[in-house]
Amino acid sequence: MSTLAEDDSSSGALTTAYENSQGPQRHAYIQAHAAVSEAAKLLSNTHISLVVVCDANEVMVGVVTKTDVVRQIAHCAESGCTVAASAVMTRDVIYCVPSDSLYSVLSKMKEHTLVHIPVVDQMFKPCGVVNARDALQALLGEAEYDVLLLRDYIMGIGYQ
């Protein structure tokens, strides 16, 4: 079974889907009192589509998406937007934990039509963000590994 907690290539773990140092960084965090413009700056990064909003104890209290920022800007006066991120964030956040299996995370994402899902620890402190594309690539990699093992077994490679 694949888990988010461990990076074991034999189990196809998903750790690399949200903390891959070789791939793009997909997670960003801001404080609840930060201005929406700070969230907008983070969201302007091509690989970030979700900003996790944290309280003073670094506990997740919500998320801000590009849609939230655009919606808020449409209501701002010409002088600019000084609204706090906490005013526009989604408070009822669908999330996963590091021990969730790859399949349960993808199932949860599909059920709620999510492209990104935050990963939080047992104290609700953010660990990262899982992107659906990255998760599917991890799943594909796991399937390819299984195919190679089966091929080696059929061919008798390593069983001499």
Residue 97's alpha-carbon distances to 1, 33, 78, 143, in angstroms, are 15, 25, 41, 23
pLDDT digit of tens for each residue in the chain (160 aa)? 333 333 333 333 344 344 443 456 778 899 999 998 899 999 998 788 899 999 999 999 999 999 888 888 777 765 557 788 898 999 999 999 999 988 899 999 999 999 999 999 999 999 989 988 888 888 888 777 778 878 877 777 765 5
- This prediction's pTM: 0.70
Pick the CATH number of 15-155 from 3.40.1190.10, 3.60.15.10, 3.40.50.360, 3.10.580.10: 3.10.580.10
Instruction: Report which residue type is found at 99.
Output: S
- pLDDT score for 26: 74
**Angle at CA 99, nearest 5°, toward 52 and 6?**
100
Which CA distances in Å does 52 have to 30, 116, 138?
A: 6, 11, 23
Q: Show me where the domains of the chain are located.
A: 15-155
Per-residue model confidence (pLDDT) at position 80: 58
Q: What pLDDT is recorded for position 78? A: 57
